[in-house]
Amino acid sequence: MAEFPELGDHCSYEHCKQLDFLPFSCDGCLKVFCYQHRGISSHHCTQEFVKLPAPIPDDKEKSYACLFAGCGSRELMPVQCEDCRRNYCLRHRHQQDHSCAKMQPVPEKMVKTAELVQHIQASHEAKAPAVSKRVKSTPLSARLQLMKLKQRAAGEKSIAESERLYLQVILPRGSAHRTCPLFISKLWTVGRAIDYTAAAAGVKNSNNLTTAQKLQLFSAADGRRFASDVTCEQTCELKNGGTVILEYSARDCSQLEDWHDYVVLAE
């Protein structure tokens, strides 16, 4: 042992003092001990300080509940109203959507300005060119619109090209995006098309539950509801390059009343 005087260390326990080449350090008194006296009780450690294991981080994702009455939706990120400072989901984030208590009434001057704009638009529509002049450009416009839609549309790659139906879908009010270009199968029922569209656009779909509001598909031409139990191919209004409206409504709703507003906002 005299050949290696600097190797190891002596046990600090007063009745031991054994030379140990691999001594243990106590987390309480910070002294070194041999294997036999390494435990706190074995060397009668009197220090109160003992290192505790680090807390395990909580990896569970935190979500934020929507405070709009009767909603119950949750978001992974806080969506706070800048005026009332309350938290809402994406559907109710705007003042008018959650009936914000601090929403200011529209000034009378702005109301008159809006009425004037509507009057000007109505006068321009009355002076629009004859139908015969516009019909000539309609087929070309439709083909161009379809070509642009195909470039941006997403869908299941397994659907054969001959079965694909390309649609521009106007999403429900309060959605993160106004429209969603996609393609579905002509052989699908309208109900299946609604489920696929909701999943692709990230829209909440509770059609499998008995609720007052149901996610339904409407025509962008006249607001009529498409029956969910027929195939898209059997629905004459569903055509390649067409536009439809996806919105929540009562289960017995047959027509979307303000369908024209959706089309104007989507343009």
pTM: 0.47
**Higher-scoring residue by pLDDT: 203, 57:** 203
pLDDT above 70 for 189: yes
Within 10 Å of residue 214's Cβ, how many Cβ atoms? 19
pLDDT above 60 for 72: yes
Whether the Cβ atoms of residue 183 and residue 166 lie closer than 8 Å to each other: yes
pLDDT above 90 for 22: no
pLDDT band at 248 (very low <50, low <70, confident <90, very high): very high
What average pLDDT does this structure show over 193-222? 88
**Nearest-angstrom CA–CA distance, 86 and 137:** 50
Alpha carbon distances (Å) from 238 to 70, 79, 173, 189, 190: 34, 36, 22, 12, 10
**Higher-scoring residue by pLDDT: 228, 49:** 228
**Nearest-angstrom CA–CA distance, 37 and 244:** 79
pLDDT tens sequence across 87-137: 999 888 888 888 888 877 666 666 677 778 888 877 776 665 544 444 344
**Higher-scoring residue by pLDDT: 185, 142:** 185
